[in-house]
Structure 1
């Protein structure tokens, strides 16, 4: 993280690491509007209204035109945004991308037919990725790097959002397919959300079979329906479907919402009402990433030596930086994966025996295809963090790293002795990142912070439903993915702030931030462009189609999305003002 010696010094607060930067934006599209808002929140001044986007960036362009804290001879970042990008299928808007890149296929699984999301989801993701490219480019420029100019597209954002589903769809069927139980046909009486006797629609969540059994037994459901319902409920994050026995919906329909809430609380199941799109949310935080200086800590003396593998990635704006990641499920691992795609060396902290998700079918060789979609290319160090030896191993890794990323349940970092203050004692310039759930959106005690519960509470579920239909979350993991992109965006901003100030930075993001962003980015009065692109109905066929070759890569056992940006050296770009 050494700053180029010739660069002028201009200190910025941790929460606004782009202070002093001016960006010129072209295009009035959702990706540009999202990116502009993100850059302004980081302290950047943005000039807009300069006309339509150029032909080589039909969804918009962002260009840094002033950064007084960068040496005068250093090239400044630029990001061009397309719709189809490198895909050889013409796309001119969000609906084309949703159709041609598989979003309609995954979202429509519960209805057994392709369906469009009612929001500009891929465009919002592309806007976050574009802002992230500019911020990462500024970091690279400050460090004396050259890979500061980027291209991205809404199609590439969509492919990243679907990487887990594509990996599963392209895995050899003989490697395992999860549950072999035949599922009932999907339908509103079989698919969450649930509806109480007094008409309240709600979602539930639990990761534990015993709490699932306790809840439904209390409601009087038949044991055969309870047992049959657990596999599709547990696997809905991976499959995008959840066809439950009709007896479960009948059990909740016989009780009012208050009785159901009491039963859920007694069983240890989280329950959240499905809100309307206009339901007010608390005021947003001052920084969308809650960027702030790392806590002061006593002088640590000599930092402990690092152990564990070093598997750096050549190239990319984060090349030479190390991320230690202690995460599970989707949001945290995908955040770390995005940082790896930007060039960082990412090392996972896993429990003794490795992350259990490595063995969840379908398998791509010796590892879960879904796990590899989020974690391939990362190193791994096993440590029992409940022991002093495991804690010391984690501290040694953090002492020689630039980022520590975790998504533990609230309070666990303190119990491990690995909270922000603990790690600041061994690495004063560390970026300590927490990828959480609800943030300040709900008071304690909070329900589980998971994708579908956040969709329900924030009103996103209501934005997805066709006119006249009751609100229902999509089972495509839109909040987990966007939450991961926001987490990685915050880490890159934290790295820029730490590099400019020479002090560590805390970053805290949540899945609720993804829900808020989707709400804020939705324009109910906007006209939807007519779709002209074909609808993908088979993800495996899409991944094998030569027209999509630039979107995907394979390890021989499964197919995964490539990095959603291409970074180029300034000499390979045509220079010119915008």
Structure 2
């Protein structure tokens, strides 16, 4: 196959016309991605709160229509916009864990995820038709379905029969140096963690007791760290913090402002590079009518943590046979508490339904075994550290000759775009790209969310890129090298804030934005358009139960819903009406993000 070179058709949606109508929050991210994939997209906004509609037609057989609503599982009254979706699904609760109270994300996270899922649905439907099986004519999703998907690990863990390995209590990074610089710290092992804090003269007991909470913050969305660690950071300069990181093997990143990101060149959230050479004809179409679009395709996934496993999970939900490559002895995260029937509930949320093969990729024999599997696969997907695939002889140039129709997908941290980038993990990417500023309104200090916003959105963008690569393969007959990144996910999420900054406006949402209101027994969240009027009634609402307070607001023509503050109560929440089910391990399962027809 040789080295990749761009050929004539590099956009899988070239010559595809897409007509779009609906609220900008649901349509704008999808429009940007569709256009980056080569589609000719015409926009006709259709009101601020209604559903979105995407009608795609191209040179292939037939077209496909996608419908994206705020509410597809929840009642319309409880999911009328971003704020109410975040409230009803438990997103405000998870994001607010570090602050001991529910907080709304100031970015349109549910809508952005729904938009990416919409593009996935369109690509999958067009791919199904291109494969000769007719394919679906319609796909539907909702911001509520997207929100439940992003929360699936937290929901599964909360409803497992076992308890968390560490307490879920308020607290967490970022840290603040004596000069006021707020920064994120990353250490993947206890050695660098301990050495970093010893360089700052932190007490040994605080170093020891702080590590478990810090290590599990990816899972729990909070990190109740000893106050002595914050004091140690606050007693030294930023220069000393950086010196401690360099001496210890840990990494630090100052929280960057959105205004500074405006001058950094943005790019599409993925690259799709077909390989040179003659196209290879596809096998005879064998997709039965009514089958899921990826049925009959095989995905090899060698992923860790969230990004690549979630991308492969989505491909599996679309019908692919996913084969997970695990190290000898199996993925250690299978046993991460809390467990259901002996298997980690969080692990199941990302990996249920996959087949697994144990391979030692560090050995020549294991590398040969993976090459043999790649010879019969359609996709190879991984998120290894930069250069690791090439080190083991498993890069695109090595696997390409084995299978000239392979879609080789790398879900990376930075895509090599930022030369000064720190370690490519969720919270470091949030810090470096200004997500920590965008996610909080103007009266809250910038702080990356401890909910894994970018790992999850990065997984969605990764699946989108693979689907685009598969569709491009159908059009060219050639294998495609695909790379997506956490950086691309962060830029997708912060695009509206960056546009405000570029126009000279404040990129952050106003003070108090999406802040829930207290009631006698909990919290309620007004819709964004009803927030000012609801806040004026806050003194009266605090004496009412949440249900009565919401009813009182609705009687005045205002939109609001009760904030879900206990993920264990979601299965019985009448708003979800049985949408949450259980798998064979009795672990909770969120609904599929799509409905096909």
TM-score after normalising by structure 1? 0.87
Instruction: Show CA shifts across 1:298-350 (max 9, x none).
Output: x9xxxxxxxxxxxx9x9321111110000000111101101111111110000
Partners of 2:84 and 2:371 lie apart in 1 by 47
Instruction: Show CA shifts across 1:383-435 (max 9, x none).
Output: 00111211111111111111000000011101111000111011101110001
Give the corresponding residue for 1:516. Answer: 491
The DSSP-based 3-state class of the residue aligned with 2:325 is strand
Q: CA deviation at 1:288?
A: 2.6
Q: CA deviation at 1:546?
A: 4.4
Pair 1:278 & 2:278 matched: no
- Matches of residues 54-453 of structure 1 in structure 2 within 5 Å? 58-64=50-56, 66-68=57-59, 70-71=60-61, 75-88=62-75, 90=77, 91-145=79-133, 146-173=135-162, 176-179=163-166, 186=170, 191-280=172-261, 282-285=264-267, 287-294=268-275, 315-443=291-419, 446-453=421-428
8 Å CA contact 2:71–2:80 kept in 1: the answer is yes
8 Å CA contact 2:7–2:276 kept in 1: the answer is no
8 Å CA contact 1:34–1:521 kept in 2: the answer is no
Q: 1:194 to 1:51 in 2, by over 3 A?
A: closer
The match for 2:26 among 17, 21, 31 is 31
User: Which sits farther off after the overlay, 409-418 or 459-468?
Assistant: 459-468
Q: 1:365 to 1:498 in 2, by over 3 A?
A: same
Give the corresponding residue for 1:467. Answer: 442
TM-score after normalising by structure 2? 0.84
Partners of 1:228 and 1:216 lie apart in 2 by 12
Partners of 1:412 and 1:535 lie apart in 2 by 44
Pair 1:491 & 2:466 matched: yes
Q: CA deviation at 1:59?
A: 2.5
Give the corresponding residue for 2:564. Answer: 536
8 Å CA contact 1:151–1:565 kept in 2: the answer is yes
User: Which sits farther off after the overlay, 197-206 or 82-91?
Assistant: 82-91
User: Which sits farther off after the overlay, 118-127 or 540-549?
Assistant: 540-549
For structure 1, the 5+ residue unaligned runs are: 1-10, 300-311, 569-578
Partners of 2:76 and 2:99 lie apart in 1 by 26
Q: CA deviation at 1:295?
A: 6.7
8 Å CA contact 1:279–1:458 kept in 2: the answer is no
8 Å CA contact 2:324–2:356 kept in 1: the answer is yes
Partners of 1:14 and 1:417 lie apart in 2 by 29
8 Å CA contact 1:12–1:501 kept in 2: the answer is no
8 Å CA contact 1:295–1:421 kept in 2: the answer is no
Partners of 1:424 and 1:39 lie apart in 2 by 27
Q: CA deviation at 1:257?
A: 0.5
Q: 1:512 to 1:141 in 2, by over 3 A?
A: same
Q: CA deviation at 1:12?
A: 8.3
Partners of 2:178 and 2:276 lie apart in 1 by 50
- Matches of residues 42-53 of structure 1 in structure 2 within 5 Å? 42-49=37-44, 51-52=46-47
Q: CA deviation at 1:560?
A: 2.1
Q: CA deviation at 1:36?
A: 1.1
The DSSP-based 3-state class of the residue aligned with 2:271 is coil
Matched positions, count: 527
Q: CA deviation at 1:296?
A: 6.7
Moved over 6 A (4+): none
The DSSP-based 3-state class of the residue aligned with 2:576 is helix
For structure 2, the 5+ residue unaligned runs are: 1-5, 280-287, 501-506, 511-527, 531-558
8 Å CA contact 1:172–1:557 kept in 2: the answer is no
Give the corresponding residue for 1:22. Answer: 17
The DSSP-based 3-state class of the residue aligned with 1:547 is coil
8 Å CA contact 1:30–1:521 kept in 2: the answer is no
Instruction: Show CA shifts across 1:509-548 (max 9, x none).
Output: 1111111111113465989323512111111211233431
8 Å CA contact 1:86–1:551 kept in 2: the answer is yes
The DSSP-based 3-state class of the residue aligned with 1:77 is strand
Partners of 1:13 and 1:514 lie apart in 2 by 27
User: Which sits farther off after the overlay, 481-490 or 530-539?
Assistant: 530-539
8 Å CA contact 2:571–2:578 kept in 1: the answer is no
The DSSP-based 3-state class of the residue aligned with 1:506 is strand
Q: CA deviation at 1:148?
A: 3.9
The DSSP-based 3-state class of the residue aligned with 1:469 is coil
Pair 1:41 & 2:32 matched: no
Q: Give the alignment's Cα RMSD to 1 decimal.
A: 2.3
Q: CA deviation at 1:114?
A: 0.9
Q: 1:292 to 1:562 in 2, by over 3 A?
A: same
